[in-house]
Amino acid sequence: MFNQVREKMRLRITLKKKSDLGKFVISCLIGGIDYPSVLCDTGSSVSILPKVMANHLGLKIDTSEDLFTFVDCSQRNLGGIIRNLEVQIGNALVPVDFHVLDIKLN
């Protein structure tokens, strides 16, 4: 048994680490509009959409009583929530709940 495991380990391929690109962006399709460089935070527990973008896309924003607390301890009420917005990533269609915040865009 030990020899079999050792033989399998010897045959493993070690992948080389690629350089850090600095940010993880993907392209996606929301409301029929292609966004080529959307920041993808795989460790995030919420999805945020600026209110100006939600309005531009003509999305229905439901009211929400949720409150966000940021790293600097400031708090902000949500501008609402968009439930089950279909986001296309590649060939996959993913329903996402977006929390809408009234934030300034650069």
Q: Which residues pair with 67 in a beta bridge?
A: 77
Structure confidence by residue, pLDDT tens digits, 33-62 = 888 887 777 677 888 888 988 998 899 999
Q: Which residue carries 């350089």 as its tokens?
A: 19
Would strands 80-89 and 92-101 be described as parallel, antiparallel, or unpaired? antiparallel
| 80 residue type, one letter | G
Number of domains, the chain:
1
Residue 27 belongs to some domain of the structure: no
Specify the DSSP class assigned to residue 58: T
Residue 84 belongs to some domain of the structure: yes
Residue 64 belongs to some domain of the structure: yes
Residue 58 belongs to some domain of the structure: yes
CA distances to 48, 69, 84 from 73, rounded to whole Å, are: 18, 6, 29
Which residue range forms the structural domain that includes residue 48?
44-106
Residue 6 belongs to some domain of the structure: no
> Which ranges of the chain have pLDDT less than 70?
1-2, 9, 13, 15, 20-23, 42, 105-106
Residue 106 belongs to some domain of the structure: yes
Residue 9 belongs to some domain of the structure: no
φ/ψ of residue 86, rounded to 5: -80, 120
pTM of the predicted protein model: 0.64
Q: How far is it, in rounded angstroms, from Cα 53 to Cα 80?
A: 13
Residue closest to 28 by CA, chosen among 68, 57, 58: 57
Residue 72 belongs to some domain of the structure: yes
